[in-house]
Amino acid sequence: MAVPVIDFSKLNGDDRAKTLAQIENACQEWGFFQLVNHGIPVELLERVKKVSSEFYKMEREENFNKSKVVELLDERGVTLEDADWEDVVTLLDDNEWPSKTPGFQEIMKDYRFELKKLAEKVMQVMDENLGLPNGYIKTAFNDGDGDNAFFGTKVSHYPPCPHPEKVKGLRAHTDAGGVILLFQDDKVGGLQVLKDGQWIDVHPLPNAIVINTGDQIEVLSNGRYKSAWHRVLRSVDGNRRPIASFYNPSLKATIAPAPQLVEKTKQVGETYPKFVFGDYMSVYVQQQFLPKEPRFQAVRAM
């Protein structure tokens, strides 16, 4: 088994129907797929790789080596069940960005602009495949017209780990939000997705963007698309540099199964609850690494 690889450029030609079907199958059967020829300039992606690596070395590596997870692993020599071997910086439009690495802010701003456009294109494809009006998912996530959705970018590094058997890179979880776009390190692997009870490697492809669906897409699609469990393994050598961007609903947005999809299933009532995304996040932060079904039940009871 292998995570589907889809040529996004073929949506614009004679293979459009075939490509739509490939994306539909990937959303239904995997919750993960890799996009190639997605329209983001390769030159920009190369700059992102370079500047993010420089950023870690210049602004983050020293502090990570002094961090609690490193200290605990060195001192105790025991398995750490509630920690991850990951250094993270989150970039938002309205927070303070790292400023010491030359070019970092300019390049990452350009990158985020391109990724947000790609996320909206992917959501349009989901609209079409689900039989929803064009722009349905985007409108739901933005709580109506406007630009209210959350778009965040997580710049991560997984340095070489001296005791990879004693700590997770990133513990298994599903993502809380909507559409996640991951620019993997194209040399150091480690990302795995759970498929039919097996952990499957998401093999790095140069300049591909990995797409996965979060819990809110599962709710909105009334379970037709599922958010997938995934995790990151540690490596004893190599510094893995993934960059994940999240197109999530506004905290004020009301999320519910699309009425058209509830009708098609001919069920009495809705399979998934209706809730405010901010309420879901208040549950998620406490239960991120636990099964998602109790989270749905918790917000149903609110």
Q: Which helix (H) or strand (E) holds 218?
A: helix 215-220
In the block, residue with structure tokens 């349009």: 124
d(CA 100, CA 147): 30
Low-confidence ranges of the chain (pLDDT < 50): none
For helices 16-29 and 104-130, what crossing angle results, to 10°? 100
Q: What angle do CA 186, 190, 194 make, to 5 degrees?
A: 120
Task: Give residue 263's pLDDT.
Answer: 73
Task: Give residue 14's pLDDT.
Answer: 95
Task: Give residue 141's pLDDT.
Answer: 98
Dihedral, 181, 221, 228, 294 alpha carbons, nearest 10:
120
Classified as helix, coil or strand, 239 is: coil
Task: Give residue 256's pLDDT.
Answer: 96
Task: Give residue 236's pLDDT.
Answer: 81
CATH code for the structural domain at 5-301: 2.60.120.330
| Single pTM value for the model | 0.94
Taking every pair of Cα atoms in the chain, the longest distance, rounded to a whole number of angstroms, is 60
